[in-house]
Homo-oligomer: A and B are copies of this chain.
Amino acid sequence: MHSLAVDIGGTKIAVGVCDDNDVIVRQWTVPTPGEAELIDEHIANLYLEASKSFNDIVAIGISAAGNVKEDHRTISFAANISGWVNYPLADRIEALIDHKAPVVVENDANCAGWGEFVHGAGKGHKNMVALTVGTGLGGAIVIDGELFRGSYGMAAELGHLPMVSDGDTCGCGLRGCAERYTSGNALERFARSAIRRRPQDAKRLLDMCGGDIYELRGKMVSKAAEEGDAISLYAFNKIGEWLGRTMAAISAVLDPDIYVIGGGVVAVGDILLDPARYNYSRFLQASAYRPHPPIVAATAGQDAGLIGAANLALRFYKDEYQK
């Protein structure tokens, strides 16, 4: 028995055929079409093609950068694909493939977090919070071993937890959202600010971005931080501080037994996680009177989202069709 896992990103679609244990057995990428309808067709074709090689693909799991309704089928909206407003993605694809396999849709941060829970750093825990520190900040919550999606599929929007009253303007239209202070974008912003204020210390980073701080990218800051560059370490220290403060806020609500930190920015490891752990303790309510959960880097790798989507799809199939 196999599943087809699809991760729809802004520029490319990652595809994987997974076996019964969510191991990816074949994997490739295709460009993301610009329109919602073309995406449907694309995925339908991916399924039909893959079915020629794997005749037992029983379910399709889709990881999408958007808010997914509680039905696991409809995208309520997405920042980057304009057609995706109350869009019946699962219905559309299932119709195109003559209902040969059920489609399960889930938010990308939820898929990645779930991948970590079933096959990565969260395995064996009960209540997990996963934070994906990428361009923005994504969140996933597992409660009592189940992915928690809220009443309307809007739970775990942890990047939009308000951290600063009247704070930094967020793309969502609010102010002070966590992802303005801890994310890849925030990393670049802290680095840029420091370069402006301490140009005398900024040689390494200015070299890397060719002297134009608007060309500075998170990966440059990561590389320089690993070399010991002072401004880059400062910038990681700041997003680490806010990552810790954000987790302390989450613990006031959820009190999880593990935090798993994923996303490209965590590649620097303890350069990010140490200030996060330190500030988690500083800003945790009743810090001295409670256990502190481990704060660890994700281990399921870049494909955590595909793995999570595959697992969700197969679980759905087994629950609905095999009982």
Contacts and interface: CB of A to CB of B under 8 A. Distances in A.
A151 B126 contact: yes
A253 B255 contact: no
Nearest to A160: B285
Contacts of A173: 192-197
Nearest to A168: B168
Contacts of A150: 127, 254-256
A210 to B, nearest CB: 15
Interface string A186-221: 000100111111111000000000000000000000
A252 B160 contact: yes
Nearest to A281: B197
A234 to B, nearest CB: 11
Interface string A140-177: 01010000111111111110111111111101111111
Interface size band for A: 35 or more
Interface stretch (A15-23, A242-250, A266-274): A242-250
Contacts of A32: none
Contacts of A25: none
A290 interface: yes
Contacts of A250: 253
A76 interface: yes
A283 interface: yes
22 contacts: A67-B289, A77-B286, A127-B151, A143-B143, A151-B291, A152-B291, A153-B255, A154-B286, A157-B255, A162-B245, A162-B248, A162-B283, A164-B166, A164-B167, A165-B176, A169-B189, A171-B196, A173-B196, A175-B193, A197-B288, A200-B288, A253-B254
